[in-house]
C-alpha cells in the first residue's frame, strides 16, 4: 500500500487586467482564489503499460504524466509535474476547454466538467466518455453564471464516482487533480498546437479512489487545457452599457 506524502507546490495569483471583448462577451481578469493543500498520494508508478491494455494511448514507454507532457512539448520550458498549484477553485469565468489526452482503462467512460463551489451537486458536463483529444468546447455565460461566484472542475468515472479539484470533497480528502499554470510552453498533440499561455491552466486527474485496484495516482487519466477570463462586476457591465448608449445617442443626434 502506498504511503501518503505531501508534494511540493507552487502558488499562482492572476493579476487584474484591462477588460476585453471576446466573442461578443465582455470579460476581464480577477485575482485567483487559492485553497488549502491537503496531503496527497505522491505521483505513483503508473499501471498503464505501453502498447497494451489501457496504456495503448501512451506515447512513451514510461506512460507517466511527466513523460507524456515532455513528449508533447515542442517549445518553452515545459512542465515539471511537481510544480503544481495550490489553487483548487476559480472565480466565475468564461472558459474554453481542450481535451489533451487520456491514458486510462475508463477513458471511454470518464466525464469532465465544472461544478459550483457553493453546491458541488450542481455539475455542468464539458466532455463525455466517447470524447477524445484534441477536442475543444466552451461554456456559455449563462451556464457559468448558474454556478455562482466560484467553480471547480470534476471528473466522474465509469462507476459514477465523482472527484473534485477541491480535495476536501474527495474520499479521505485526497487530491485527485493537479493543476498547472500557463508558462508559455507549446504542445503539439496529433498535429494540433496548444499554446500554454499565462492565465491558462492544465487540469490532470486520477480517476480511482484510494484502496481501489489499479488506483496508481499517476494523474494522466484525463488531462485538459483550460483558457479562461473572468466576468467583470455587474456595475462595470452597466457602466459599459451606459457608455455604449451615450455614444449611440450622440451619433443619432449628429445624423438628425
Single out the residue of 83, 87, 103, 74 nearest to residue 7, CA to CA. 83
Q: What are the residue ranges spanned by the domains of the chain?
A: 4-12+26-255
> Does the pLDDT of residue 43 top 70, yes or no?
yes
> For the segment 191-247, what is each residue's pLDDT rounded down to a tens digit?
999 999 999 999 999 998 876 777 788 999 999 999 987 544 444 334 434 434 443
> For the segment 145-184, what is each residue's pLDDT rounded down to a tens digit?
999 999 999 999 999 999 999 999 998 888 999 999 999 9
> For the segment 206-217, what is each residue's pLDDT rounded down to a tens digit?
998 876 777 788
Cβ–Cβ under 8 Å, residues 180 and 202: yes
* pTM assigned to the model: 0.76
Amino acid at each position: 500500500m502506498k504511503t501518503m506524502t505531501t508534494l511540493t507546490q507552487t502558488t499562482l495569483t492572476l493579476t487584474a487586467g484591462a477588460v476585453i471583448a471576446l466573442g461578443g462577451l465582455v470579460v476581464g481578469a480577477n485575482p485567483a482564489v487559492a485553497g488549502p493543500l491537503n496531503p496527497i498520494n505522491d505521483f505513483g508508478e503508473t499501471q498503464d503499460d505501453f502498447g497494451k491494455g489501457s496504456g495503448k494511448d501512451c506515447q512513451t514507454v514510461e506512460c507517466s504524466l511527466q513523460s507524456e507532457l515532455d513528449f508533447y512539448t515542442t517549445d518553452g520550458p515545459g512542465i515539471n509535474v511537481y510544480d503544481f498549484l495550490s489553487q483548487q477553485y476559480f472565480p466565475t469565468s468564461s472558459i474554453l476547454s481542450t481535451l489533451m489526452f487520456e491514458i486510462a482503462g475508463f477513458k471511454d467512460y470518464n466525464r469532465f466538467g465544472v461544478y459550483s463551489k457553493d453546491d458541488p451537486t450542481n455539475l455542468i458536463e464539458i466532455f463525455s466518455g466517447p470524447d477524445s483529444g484534441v477536442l475543444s468546447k466552451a461554456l456559455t455565460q449563462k451556464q457559468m453564471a448558474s454556478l455562482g461566484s466560484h467553480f471547480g472542475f470534476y471528473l466522474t468515472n465509469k462507476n459514477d464516482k465523482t472527484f473534485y479539484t477541491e480535495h476536501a470533497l474527495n474520499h479521505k480528502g485526497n487530491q485527485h487533480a493537479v493543476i498547472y499554470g500557463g508558462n508559455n510552453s507549446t504542445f503539439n498533440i496529433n498535429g494540433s498546437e496548444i499554446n500554454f499561455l499565462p492565465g491558462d491552466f492544465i487540469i490532470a486527474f486520477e480517476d480511482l479512489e484510494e484502496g481501489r485496484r489499479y488506483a496508481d495516482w499517476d494523474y494522466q487519466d484525463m488531462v485538459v487545457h483550460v483558457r479562461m477570463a473572468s466576468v467583470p462586476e455587474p456595475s462595470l457591465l452597466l457602466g459599459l452599457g451606459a457608455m455604449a448608449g451615450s455614444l449611440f445617442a450622440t451619433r443619432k443626434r449628429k445624423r438628425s
